[in-house]
Amino acid sequence: MEIAIQVHPHDVRDEGAETVVSNVAQRAGIRTIIAETGTLEERHPYPKGELEHNPIHNVVITNAFFEVPGSNSWFAGLPFRPVLSPEASQGQDYIEDLRAVAPKYGAEIMPWVKALNGAFAGEVEQVCVRTFSGDLIRTWLCPNNPLTESYVKNLVFGILEQYPSRAILVDRLRYPDWSGATVSIERMLTCFCPHCQSRMDVSGIDVDRLSELLQAFIQDPQLLLGWMSQQGPELEVLQAWFVFRNKSITSLAAKLWEAMQAWRQKQGTQTEYWLNLWPPSFAPLLGQDYPSLGQLCEGAKHFPYHKLGGGADLAAFVQALAGQGSKVGQEWIFGKVASLLKLGKLTYDEYRTCGLPVSFVADQTQWGKDAFGKNKIFTGIQIWDIPEEEIEHTIRSAIEGQADGLFFYCYGWATLGALDQVGQFLQNKER
């Protein structure tokens, strides 16, 4: 079974590589550390709380910067490139710092790459996704733009050559969701760039009609339920669009998978290629089709962080749709979303107080396994913002769902007590 934990750059800068690796190896008993090569626009920890063992910061806000110094040349042939963090611009390489310390603790470091999401410099407006009203989302590349394919290949193979590793974790191979620097439903209704519009035309989607429907939905989210129950032409257009999005991501994933196999052959290595996916109930809404993607990697981590609503921050989604003030509206929207996503019977109030039940972890893991066939499903285990004694239930739930691995999330957001809990569980499991 794969056992891993994910770390962010500020964990290592603020605590020092030695402290991080020693806590991970000695307290949590974990030997695989997955290090972020680029951050997201995100509050750490998310969405609330404090970094309890960080000696310098209580809270860190990151900006989707890239963390690999000297990487600008990887993107020399493209009109845009990722923006380096101030530390990486000065030549600091926190991943190399981890790699230097890891052997002393019998640990290994793996890179965690964000494929389509990042802060970019240069002419990214040609390549980034657009909402139906034409707004550019500059931090997200369109999967159908030919330059995106070239960017992601340069990124993945640049990183693999910089940090040779037993496996690589490729994240954010999907469309934007509703969270980012701010919460926005419109942000998840992409992409309407010229490439996508002409491809949608070819696949028979009436782009003008689709834009009208999305505009109407934004103004009155309840319309969606009417369209769903009528099973009429509105629903057909929307379904065709979701299929189009899934195929767009699958097609890019297939090109990467092919390139990965060629790269391995050329290098004579066996580096495994893993994807980071949304839990199966949410994934198709973001362009991720499990049965197809299961053929295009050796394994995938999904993140059914139940306290947060499947890693998806459902509360933010419900409030954005129903409005902050409308309790009745929030309850109603939540009920519809929960039934759509097969989350079980649960009121919004119950969800706000307790999150999703732990059984969500087993259900989603099993669902992923069924879709992936012989390939592996690793389950993200939430170890922050939950009672320490619930960590063991969560691990057991993942195992019940047939998980091939446990990826603990994440080092900096968890308390040291939570790391100790993980360590105790893993030690008892070995006996």
| Site residues for Zn ion per CB under 5 A | 142, 144, 191, 193, 195-196
How far is Cα 69 from Cα 86, in angstroms, rounded to an integer? 10
Nearer to Zn ion, 4 or 193 (CB): 193
- Grouping H, G, I as helix, E, B as strand and the rest as coil, residue 84 is strand
Q: Least Å distance between CB 144 and Zn ion? A: 5
Nearer to Zn ion, 9 or 176 (CB): 176
Nearer to Zn ion, 211 or 424 (CB): 211
Q: Which tokens go with 204?
A: 């028979």
Nearer to Zn ion, 62 or 197 (CB): 197
Q: Least Å distance between CB 129 and Zn ion? A: 6
Helical spans, DSSP H, in 270-374: 290-293, 314-322, 327-340, 348-354, 359-372
Q: Least Å distance between CB 141 and Zn ion? A: 9
Q: Least Å distance between CB 308 and Zn ion? A: 29
What single DSSP character describes residue 387? -
Nearer to Zn ion, 69 or 143 (CB): 143
What's the distance, CA 314 to chain centroid?
Answer: 15
End-to-end CA distance of the chain: 15
Nearer to Zn ion, 152 or 386 (CB): 152
Nearer to Zn ion, 144 or 179 (CB): 144
Q: Least Å distance between CB 249 and Zn ion? A: 12
The helix (H) or strand (E) run that includes residue 425 is: helix 416-430
Q: How many CB atoms lie within 10 A of CB 264?
A: 15
Q: Least Å distance between CB 285 and Zn ion? A: 17
Q: Least Å distance between CB 193 and Zn ion? A: 3
How far is Cα 118 from Cα 13, in angstroms, rounded to an integer? 20
Strands (E), 106-208: 108-114, 120-122, 128-130, 136-141, 167-171
- The sign of the torsion formed by the CA atoms of 386, 392, 395, 396 equals negative
How far is Cα 188 from Cα 56, in angstroms, rounded to an integer? 35
Do residues 120 and 82 make contact, with C-beta atoms less than 8 angstroms apart? yes
How far is Cα 275 from Cα 262, in angstroms, rounded to an integer? 18
CA distances from residue 181 to 46, 119, 134, 139, 236 in whole angstroms, order as listed: 12, 12, 19, 10, 32
Backbone angles phi, psi at 105, to 5 degrees: -105, 10
Q: Least Å distance between CB 380 and Zn ion? A: 28
Q: Least Å distance between CB 322 and Zn ion? A: 29
Q: How many CB atoms lie within 10 A of CB 299?
A: 19
Nearer to Zn ion, 110 or 188 (CB): 188
Q: Least Å distance between CB 246 and Zn ion? A: 14
Nearer to Zn ion, 190 or 364 (CB): 190
Q: Is 177 left (phi over 0), alpha (psi -120 to 50) or beta?
A: beta
Nearer to Zn ion, 195 or 376 (CB): 195
